[in-house]
Amino acid sequence: MRKVMAAAAVLAALIAPSAAAPATAAVAVAAVAPQPGTYVGKGFDTCTAPSQSAMNAWKASSPYGAVGIYISGSSRSCSQPNLTATWVSNQVAKGWRLIPIELDYQAPCGTRTPKMSSDPTTARSQGASRATSAVNAAKALGIPAGSAIYNDIEQYPTSASCRAAVLSYLSGWTVQLHALGYLSGMYSSGSSGVLDVCNAYDDPQYTRLDHLWIAWWNGVANTAGGQYCADTAYPNHQRLHQYSGDVTETWGGVTIKIDRNYLDVSTVVTEPPTEWSTIVDNSDTSRFTASASWGTSSYSTQRYGADYRFADPVAASDPAWYKVSIPETATYDVSVWYPANTGYNSATPYVVVTSTGSQSVVVSQQASGGQWVSLGVFTLAAGDSDKVGVSRWTTGTGYVIADAIRVTRV
């Protein structure tokens, strides 16, 4: 997008401001449909939202039907004297489709500021926070729920650590926008953000965007992603393509410096939720932790994997924990595997850390062994942390067993 401060000066010199309404006049703002809605065709974006007279001139004579507007973010480089709820309502009433843009946190390995955290967990939280701010800005402008908001992440020299931060940031952005009733989009260069997002299209660690805005200045007005994004990613009216940039055009006697775009979008996203499941065994030392009080055994043939852990019951807190990387705050089935034996505990407490606090489910490990046993369906928060524990604090008799757990999105 590479917006420059000079754009505001160009507009000020070339575009006459529309007449202001008297201070005492009551301005009625019409209801606005979700933006950009279902639209196929050309659009443009520019740094400062143009005046009403400029928008009228371009609507009458240009090939464009959509306009990108910077609604939020500390990195916006241009003032927005025209961008009000009345301006938004007027453009939609005249047939324009709006592309709301957020420009704030940037990749930690890039040159732009402010930078998101290089820690994926923190970056995810920052993305969620920015989603809330962007929605507040959208609502103030009369852009309603059901609209898409596009996060502008400028070009960066991608690397494994930077990729993880950006994808985590966008996951937090998407999850929070969905919670607030909006769709998520991202604008980025083909060689960095777009490439990383498309390569992670089927990666369950990250939450998919709803729309992808591809900056690839190849001069072709279509939604192809070329070498940066396969056609199988975001195929269902979910793409925008910035095919040319930093160009000056004159329509209806009004000259504006713009980027050219082609859109094929819809606010109805019909992709099913990504199927996701993971298993953590006690042998995974990076995801299973237990104190020295827990022994190791391979006695039972009903075990999952090579062995399992056991410990005597005790009236103290000494749980064994399974760490799980949850891709998105959603509902998940949590199941456990243990070998059954009459000498094992009759009332083993499993602790599930949900999005609203810990819940305990008691299971008899004297029966139903050697298979997955569901503890129930829970809402789990996104992030990589201890999610399921096996507690020794029980009034039951017999060894407490910790073998394997499975978490499946439902």
CB proximity list for 158: less than 8 A, separation 6 or greater: 107, 109, 191, 192, 195, 196
pTM of the model: 0.64
Report whether pLDDT(340) > 70: yes
CB proximity list for 152: less than 8 A, separation 6 or greater: 1, 73, 75, 101, 102, 103, 186, 187, 188
SS3 178: helix
* pLDDT tens-digit series, residues 67-102: 999 999 999 889 999 999 999 999 999 999 999 999
CB atoms under 10 Å from CB of 25, counted, come to 8
- The H or E element that residue 92 is part of is helix 85-93
* pLDDT tens-digit series, residues 11-67: 333 223 333 333 333 344 557 999 999 999 999 999 999 999 999 999 999 999 999
**Are the C-beta atoms of residues 128 and 176 closer than 8 Å to each other?**
yes
* pLDDT tens-digit series, residues 350-377: 999 999 999 999 999 999 999 999 999 8
Residue of 386, 271, 391, 278 lying closest to 333 (CA atoms): 278
